[in-house]
A and B are shown apart, each in its own frame.
Chain A
């Protein structure tokens, strides 16, 4: 078990471009979470999957954000028409049963 992996680790993009991040959770975990974190703050919930079903999406999340988990394994998070305010660390976490969340090391997005 290699833990939760995220790709890429860093992404620099120009405002207006689309970006996509990938998360591979721990294989036996059925729950997958996406969070956003800015410097010195706790993670901010974005969305949550149980298997392939997206069960919850933050009301703070604009329509430019979309996430998928088509086969209940890996997940992608896409941000369309990026804005400078989207610059943050995007964290993925997974859990299963009563286990706590295990986090990946995140994708740091910088929008110029």
Chain B
């Protein structure tokens, strides 16, 4: 099983809403990532968890709050987002020195 599952596939939220994105993998990978991807751009790294501890935070605004409840799950909590936060949010996982990343299909987020 080389699948990373993200839910929901689509999300529309207002600027005052609170929502969460979910990511799950069962490959035993110990590193998990959140990326933000705008149209026609490469993915931008937001957060990395390694062994369930936050390893990298790329100076992401506090309205994005990651959580890693266990080695298979990764959440991204959203609160008071701005319209410019509308994007495709990708989750990935990896294992080993080569850092080959396996990506989910993403959540398409629209902030109104």
Asked if A pairs with B, the answer is no
Residues of chain B having any CB pair with chain A under 8 Å: none
